[in-house]
Structure 1
Amino acid sequence: MALRTSYFSGMHTKSKPHQLMVLVQIGYTFLYFITEASFNHGMNPHVYVTYRHIVSTIVMFPFAYFLERKIRPKLTFALFLEISLLSLFGVSATLNMYFASLRYTSPTFVASMVNTIAALTFVIAVVLRLETLDLGQTRGMAKVLGTVVSLAGVTTMTLYK
């Protein structure tokens, strides 16, 4: 009995990242449903982004404050400026452009373009030499194959629609 419990405990530990990934995708699915319902009821996308950030701040603040209070760095002006710029351009501007693109293009095109982010990030990292690419190893071949398959799928979806 102890061997079986140990086996399942080990499996649970090994599969925890996969379980969390599935949980995150389920959360994104609910978020898309809420977003679609909000837009169908006439909510402005810019107001929706603002409300989304307010709700996420309220939900995440207690966790960040209490769980990381001993390890967080001192808030200097440079760190504050970096956080402000990253939140403005990395999150707010991205979401506002995403929702604006939904207005001007088809949802199929927008969904397929979102799926190119990882592939294009990889291509840019290789070009800027931030990522090493060794085609002699299985890992390097998998990276290239994943990028090609992703971009081929996006192209197919866009051209088909």
Structure 2
Amino acid sequence: MEQKMFDLLHAYRKFKPHMLMVLIHLCYTFGYFMIEASFNHGMSPHVFVTYRYFVGGVVIFPFAYFFERNVRPKLTFALFLEIFVLSLLGVCLAVNMCFASMKYTSPTFVAAMLNTIASITFIIAVPLRFA
């Protein structure tokens, strides 16, 4: 009996990252179905993205202010412009396109396509000599 428990514990430790990865993807898929339901009830994807980033900013702001107060660099105009452009084009545009595509396809398709981002990025980077 003790040997069986030891084998089960060893298997759990060995496959814990895999189980967590599957759990995270299940949570993402559940979230996409919830988002799809809100879109079917009339919410605009662009409004949803705005609410999402507003709530995220409000939640993260106190932690960033108190824990990173003495570490962060001085906010110059060039740094502010760089952060603005990267957040606008890098994150906001991608999430807006993802949620807008959810209006035309299923959440399952969107969840599957998000897993191909890394490989498509590599395929684009090879001809541009970034990889």
TM-score (structure 2 length as normaliser): 0.69
Change (3 A) 1:33 1:113: closer
What residue is the counterpart of 1:84 in the other structure?
A: 84
Q: How many angstroms apart in 2 are the aligned matches of 1:85 and 1:48? A: 20
CA RMSD of aligned residues (A): 2.9
> CA separation in 2, counterparts of 1:106 and 1:33?
9
CA offsets per residue over residues 67-113 of structure 1, 9 Å max, x none?
21222111011110111111111122111111221223344443332
Residues 45 and 100 in structure 2, CA contact (< 8 A), matched pair in contact too: yes
Q: Give CA deviations for 1:97-147 in whole Å, capped at 9, x if unaligned.
A: 11221223344443332111011222333444433xxxxxxxxxxxxxxxx
Q: Hey, what's the Cα distance between the residues in 1 that align with 2:93 and 2:105? A: 18
Aligned length: 116
Partner Cα separation in structure 2 for residue 86 and residue 118 of structure 1:
18
Match of 1:150 in 2: none
Evaluate the alpha carbon distance shift between residue 70 and residue 27 of structure 1 in structure 2; reply closer, same or farther with a 3 A threshold. Answer: farther
Query: In structure 2, what is the equivalent of residue 70 of structure 1?
Result: 70
Q: Percent identity?
A: 64
In 1, Cα distance between equivalents of 2:47 and 2:24? 24
* Aligned mates of 1:33, 1:105 — CA distance in 2: 12
What do residues 12-66 of structure 1 show as CA deviations (whole Å, max 9, x unaligned)?
9xxxxx49x6586576456435423322332111111111011100111111111
Other-structure match for 1:39: 39
The normalised TM-score by structure 1 is 0.58
Specify which structure has the bigger relative contact order, considering alpha-carbon pairs within 8 angstroms and separated by 6 or more residues: 2
Distance (Å, rounded) in 2 between the aligned partners of 1:42 and 1:60: 28
Structure 2 portions without partners, runs of 5+? 1-12
Structure 1 stretches of 4+ with a deviation exceeding 6 A read: none
